Structure 1
Amino acid sequence: MSHRPTDWHILDLDKDPTPGWATMRRFQAAVRAALAIAVLTVLVAVAAPAHAADPSVSTQAAHLVSRLRTGPVYVTDQLPREIPRSTAPAFAEVAMRTGVPTYVLVLPLWSTGGRTLLDAVHDRLGRDGLYVLIDESGVTDAAAYGVRAPTDDAVTVSLYELPYDAGPLRSFQRFAEVVAQGPERAADRAEAAREKYDAGNEPADMYIGPSDRENQSLLTGIALTAVPLSILILVPYVRRWRRRLPGAQARQRPVRRARAWILPTVALLSAAAIAATAPTVFDQTRSSAAPTPTPDDLTARADRVAAGLKQDPVYADPESPQLLDARQRARLHDRIRAFARSDGGGPVYAALVPQLPEDESAGDSELFAAAVHHRVGKDGVYVVADPFNGTIDVFNHGLRLDSIDLYFDLPESIAYGNEAAAEADDHLMAERLDRLMTHLDKSPRTEEPEALSDPAPAPNPRTATTLPRLYSGEVWPGLFMGAVVVMMLFVVMSGALGMIARTLRRRSPEPAQSLPLSQPSAPSTRFLRRTARTELRALERSFTTHPPDSASAAHTRAADCREAAMLLAGVNGDTDRFADTATATTDPATLVALIVLARAGRAALAGDVEDRVCGVNPLHGPAETRRDVRVSATERNRRRWLPVCTRCLNAAIAEPSSVPALLLTLPAPSGGDNGRVPYYEAGGPLAAVRDGVPQLVRRVREAMLTAR
């Protein structure tokens, strides 16, 4: 069977039956090589990560890989106030709990590139494991390479189970805990945390701020004065109010001395209890989870930047976006050298380093520049360009330049840029630095070198997160406010209780017989005023609720007593505030006369027409008989024929020497002996009470007619 030549040649290309086949074989080999190169190029292009073309990510990844080769945890030196570098061992200890090789990168929030940065670091480091990215708030991203770890669920749990102020270390601890639990339990926990958060059950804050501590101090101060004063002022007031309510049977007598110490003691104990328990209730001592940085933590970044500037006048932070390419850096170097050779010029040091509130200078670029200048040890113009917000600050240290002009009058197009700079990723930093060098070339020179004064130091990070003591600051205004609160509460309470009392009196009139008699021998003016007000109110209620028969002797006696009381008090006609108006006087004798008249009037309305009251003490009530009694302890032979009540009669029979102690004495108008006098020597119509109630009524009328 014959074969087609083409079939043979296709099956046996390695044979060379004729000399022309050598050229064809070389051509086929070249085609194969070209195809292989093309395929390899495509595969490399597809497999290569997108971040390889980003010089910023490449530079940052190279810097971080060089640090991770010395240890599995890298903590930036740009956040000493929030995450000091000295916390790296603590992060390393937590990383060992995950159960897999773990590499931790602690970087500022804005400089983290997420999964792209982790991919680049892993590619360069060439080690499989769990890569975790942490910023000021906590764990932000994680990726597992060659190991099994529930990274997404762990990040979710650390985000939703902890409050925002828990701190990076505590967030990483929660992350490592979930990773160690395995994928299944981690997924369940993440779902539960997400559902709880979506339902509005956010975790409570772990720390309070200085303003919260001020509120706590203010509240403590208010409680320290409001509670004791409320006990001392409001409690006695409520007690007196209750005694005046209809149906109250409390005896109208002064507070016994034996119990006078109870309220002050309770008030003092309440203040002591508040003072002792407030620090245990408000026991917070720190306002943040940030650890206290060491001195090395606070100088690490300035040392790093200064060391870089000693080698190159343009220092770009390797952890930040790279805003200058090689050509732009070369031009900036040329401009710096030209300025150094100019008249009045000198060295220029440009640091492209972010200024953050968490750094050692608390975001103060002037303070940072001063620290770098001190470490570089050379005078010059120090430029701080922030790759994060794009600002440029210039500080003259020792050159013949106008420092004030550079500090305050730097053109905004250089210091802050225009709209185009704000929208550009690189903030047009190269162009603006070039304009800055032109501005320096044109800046006026001074005769002598100038330098800015030393800036104020940054807040002490060792005390910045320490809360003030509870008993400081706002506690003193709180003490005053507590007294004001009690006064306001007293005004409101007195008004409310007054309205309640008037309503109860209208609805539940008090019977005349329900008011007990008061029988002190040496009453105070305050006591007499309170008793007179109570008796007169009872008399008015008796007239209102039990209208008597106008033709009866009881009505005539009650009306005479009421009229005499009104004349004695200077009240013309009926009035709703008769009792308050009548007791406005401070004359003790007048108050006793009002009490006797009010009681006699109420007794008459009740059917008991009293003609005589006790002549030893009219407050004792009706007299039973008359007797010759000795009322003076110093004059043994002086006796008086007086009406006496049962109590005084028994005393006169059993122990006559005890009767002088029962005699009613009143504060003397002009001092008198020991400041008190017998009631019948106090002046006014009261002396006539010894001759009976009708005589007292007649003397009151005569005194009023004489006064007119």
Structure 2
Amino acid sequence: MGAVLRAGLTLVTGWLTVLFCAGAVQAAPAGPHAPGGPTQFAYLAEQLRRSPVHVSDQIPREVPRSTAPAFAREARRLGVPTYVMVLPHASYGTAADGLLAGVHDRLGRKGLYVALSDTGLEAAQTYGVDLPGTADAVTEAVYAMPYDATPREVLRHFVDVVTSGEAHQRAEEARAAYDDGGLDEPPGLHTDTTERENQSLVTGIAVLGIPLTVLLVTVHALQRRRVRRAAAAGGPVRGPGARGGPQGGGRTAGGRTTGSGRQRPVGGPGPFPRERLLPLMLGAAVLGGLVAFTASQIFDDTTSGDGSRPTAADMRARIDRVSAGLRRDPLYLDPESRSTLDSTERAHLSKRLRELDVPVVIAAVPTPPDDESGGSKELLAKEVHDRLHRNVLMVLADPATGVIELVNYSTLIDDSYLVDRPRDLTYTGPAEEQLGRHLDELLTYVDKAPRARTGGRPYDPPPAADPVEEKALPGLFTGDFEAGMVLGTFAAGLVFGLVVAARALARRLVRRGRPAGRGAGGAAAPSAPDRPTPAWLRRTARQDLDALTAALEASASLPEEARRRAWECLDAAALLIDGDSDGRIDADATPVGLTCAVVLARAGRTAIEEPAAARYVCHRNPLHGAARRPAPGRPAGGPARSLPVCETCQVTPGPVLRLRSPGSGGRGAYAAYPTLTGPLAALGDGVGIDQLTLDVREYFGVH
């Protein structure tokens, strides 16, 4: 019985020993090679125990600690206990999930744990709670968020995806877009300095280029209209320099000039009036102001971040923490960074620091570019030294990069000796386990340093950039804005030239593509409305007379009959519309006279181009041109007989030409031309062109 009892006690004792040993092994701190190390886990767990959001004091330029309430508001939207850590990217190492697990083990609370850094979302993991879509939201955020998204914006996006109920679908879409090459890099959320310069350039081009283009095109269009109106109101009537027909130029019986006595053409309407240009320029200036105002509303960013501004307390928080730690112990290890020294190495280095006859302190802290010093180790050392208020040789060791920096503040050590130290005492390399050994070797090297008579002091480093001004964007109307205005001027000229060329080409294509009827002899039938307006008559009269004059000047050899008829048509037309013999259409020229001049000018052209078809014109509408074939008709008050018509009216009789009465001032009712006073009415009876020219001469008393 006693043997059995002893055996039972031995077995129970053995099991208890195993359990205690297992518990001791589990509770033992991780070694120096374990990711994160117990110091980092314990420190972060303690911070989250105080507040569910911990923002590192090492990146105040990117994520100020004062923005922690904003992170907390986003986290509360998830509806589960959420613990958020915002640390420098280097603090996570290669296993952010392991850091979350270690912090959760130390904290011992259920919930969602989120790890954010200055580069984005590192990891998110649930412990003891059910939150569907967490893993998919992490994937979607990694693929979809742009490079310049701030941690607060990343967390907001992560929460939006989780609460949308479509986390899996959105994650698959983002992954597919990235795998297919369609999403190389999401567009940025914020405007940076380079983009602001581009905005200024574009704004300068638009502010000057758009109004100037509108001004040039408008002035050109108005000037073209002035030219057309001037031509319609009585543009210059060209006459040949010397008459080659049988009748020479000279004074007529009525005191008029014919032939060579006709005046040469005069200029157009002149330059664009200044009094009309000034309002257009004012309108262009107003348009430029509107463009500038619109650009300022579109490109309204004033900073390149999410608007977070660090306070003075944010900027000095880490300096105060490191300084306080160095007052307690000459060896300070950053608790937010991965542990690089085990307890034995820490104790050994602390002991050696106290035994040196030269005051030396070691601060193993990272220097990210978004810290209070802007990534400057010299400035960090100066800020810490200013708070220590004593002479000291400061050693800054970056646990992330392995770089070791020495800054001597008035200790009696030869500075050149420190500068010439071996390379392995300046850069330890990526192997984190080497940092403790190299720091120990550095202390040995310092202990052997030759002493100087007086202590040196480094030059004060330049101050770091102001965090607010660093994020501020230059004004929209600065920088490349002036260069944009210069480019806008050239662009306006280019666009104006293209517009003018396009309009000219369009007019030419329209003329070529416009269907033209065929007149007598196969020639293209001229434009012949049955109710022409006074403006059309003035413009057409000038054009047709110019064309007849040019044709006469270009015709060196013509049959005598054709030359005589063409010159008689030109002289008769001039009598009708150029009574002042000044080379311009008279202001009081009537619609009947203008129409008769057009008919004569076209008949003269026909006499030159096809003499056989120039004797008669269409009696229904003389503007139709030459007529060869007679058709049954009834002149006013006369018996039915054959009257000349053009080929078109031979097939389908067109409407009779109707003109406004001479005394209506261009605003009266239209009447059939045979009923109106003047030589033109004779064409309704079928008279020929030769008779019409005689009637015109007799009408004006010219023989």
How many Å separate the matches in 2 of 1:314 and 1:482?
Answer: 62
How many Å separate the matches in 2 of 1:50 and 1:541?
Answer: 107
Q: Is 2:361–2:393's contact at 8 Å kept on the other side of the alignment?
A: yes
Corresponding residue to 1:222 among 205, 208, 214: 205
Matched letter for residue 286 of structure 2: L
How many Å separate the matches in 2 of 1:239 and 1:56?
Answer: 78
Q: Is 2:402–2:432's contact at 8 Å kept on the other side of the alignment?
A: no
How many Å separate the matches in 2 of 1:556 and 1:452?
Answer: 110
Q: CA deviation at 1:433?
A: 2.7
Change (3 A) 1:550 1:168: same
Matched, 1:65 2:45: yes
How many Å separate the matches in 2 of 1:105 and 1:619?
Answer: 93
Q: Deviations over 1:85-139 (max 9, x none)?
A: 1122222333333222222222112212422122222222222222222222444
Q: Is 1:517–1:621's contact at 8 Å kept on the other side of the alignment?
A: no
Matched, 1:425 2:441: no
Give me the CA root mean square deviation: 4.6
Residue range with higher mean Cα deviation, 67-76 or 478-487: 478-487
Matched letter for residue 149 of structure 1: L
Matched, 1:80 2:82: no
Matched letter for residue 277 of structure 1: T
Q: Deviations over 1:541-596 (max 9, x none)?
A: 7479x856445598799xxxxxxxxxxxxxxxxxxxxxxxxxxxxxxxxxxxxxxx
Percent of residue pairs bearing the same amino acid type: 38
Corresponding residue to 1:415 among 418, 423, 426: 426
> How many residues are matched?
531
How many Å separate the matches in 2 of 1:305 and 1:130?
Answer: 31
The residue that corresponds to 1:121 in the other structure is: 103
Change (3 A) 1:106 1:606: farther
Q: CA deviation at 1:239?
A: 5.9
Q: Is 1:72–1:92's contact at 8 Å kept on the other side of the alignment?
A: yes
Matches within 5 A, 1:533-612: 542=551, 547=555, 549-550=557-558, 552=560, 607-608=570-571
Matched, 1:471 2:477: yes
Corresponding residue to 1:322 among 304, 315, 339: 339
Change (3 A) 1:131 1:204: same
How many Å separate the matches in 1 of 2:202 and 2:162?
Answer: 44
Matches within 5 A, 1:625-664: none
The residue that corresponds to 1:153 in the other structure is: 136
Q: Deviations over 1:635-680 (max 9, x none)?
A: xxxxxxxxxxxxxxxxxxxxxxxxxxxxxxxxxxxxxxxxxxxxxx
How many Å separate the matches in 2 of 1:60 and 1:536?
Answer: 101
Q: Deviations over 1:161-205 (max 9, x none)?
A: 644434222332343455567xx6654565566567667478643
How many Å separate the matches in 2 of 1:233 and 1:435?
Answer: 78
How many Å separate the matches in 2 of 1:623 and 1:491?
Answer: 36
The residue that corresponds to 1:89 in the other structure is: 69
Matched, 1:362 2:374: yes
TM (normalized to structure 2)?
A: 0.64
The residue that corresponds to 2:397 in the other structure is: 385
Q: Is 1:59–1:318's contact at 8 Å kept on the other side of the alignment?
A: yes
How many Å separate the matches in 2 of 1:175 and 1:512?
Answer: 73
Q: Which runs of 5+ in 1 are unaligned?
A: 1-15, 17-21, 519-530, 558-602, 625-708
Q: Is 2:580–2:586's contact at 8 Å kept on the other side of the alignment?
A: no
The residue that corresponds to 2:311 in the other structure is: 294
Corresponding residue to 1:130 among 94, 112, 118: 112
User: Which SS does the other structure have where 2:98 is aligned?
Assistant: helix
How many Å separate the matches in 2 of 1:469 and 1:536?
Answer: 63
Matched letter for residue 229 of structure 1: L
Change (3 A) 1:606 1:398: farther
The residue that corresponds to 1:209 in the other structure is: 192
Matched letter for residue 584 of structure 2: H
Q: CA deviation at 1:446?
A: 4.6
How many Å separate the matches in 2 of 1:87 and 1:237?
Answer: 59
The residue that corresponds to 1:696 in the other structure is: none
Change (3 A) 1:166 1:604: farther
The residue that corresponds to 2:454 in the other structure is: 448
Q: Is 1:332–1:434's contact at 8 Å kept on the other side of the alignment?
A: yes
How many Å separate the matches in 2 of 1:79 and 1:366?
Answer: 17
Q: CA deviation at 1:323?
A: 2.0
Change (3 A) 1:234 1:67: same
Q: Is 1:163–1:206's contact at 8 Å kept on the other side of the alignment?
A: yes
Matched letter for residue 116 of structure 1: G
User: Which SS does the other structure have where 1:298 is aligned?
Assistant: helix
Change (3 A) 1:334 1:494: same
User: Which SS does the other structure have where 1:215 is aligned?
Assistant: helix
Change (3 A) 1:23 1:368: same
Change (3 A) 1:495 1:312: same
Q: Is 1:403–1:452's contact at 8 Å kept on the other side of the alignment?
A: no
The residue that corresponds to 1:592 in the other structure is: none
User: Which SS does the other structure have where 1:449 is aligned?
Assistant: coil
Matched, 1:167 2:150: yes
Q: CA deviation at 1:268?
A: 1.9
How many Å separate the matches in 2 of 1:52 and 1:443?
Answer: 30
Q: Is 1:306–1:376's contact at 8 Å kept on the other side of the alignment?
A: yes
Q: Is 2:32–2:339's contact at 8 Å kept on the other side of the alignment?
A: no
How many Å separate the matches in 2 of 1:229 and 1:296?
Answer: 52
Matched letter for residue 411 of structure 2: L
How many Å separate the matches in 2 of 1:435 and 1:401?
Answer: 17
The residue that corresponds to 1:98 in the other structure is: 78
Q: Deviations over 1:497-528 (max 9, x none)?
A: 7888899999999999999689xxxxxxxxxx
User: Which SS does the other structure have where 2:207 is aligned?
Assistant: helix
Corresponding residue to 1:304 among 314, 321, 336: 321
Matched letter for residue 253 of structure 1: P
Q: Is 1:217–1:475's contact at 8 Å kept on the other side of the alignment?
A: yes
Q: Is 1:542–1:605's contact at 8 Å kept on the other side of the alignment?
A: no
Q: Which runs of 5+ in 2 are unaligned?
A: 236-267, 515-523, 529-535, 589-703
User: Which SS does the other structure have where 2:456 is aligned?
Assistant: strand
Q: CA deviation at 1:217?
A: 1.2
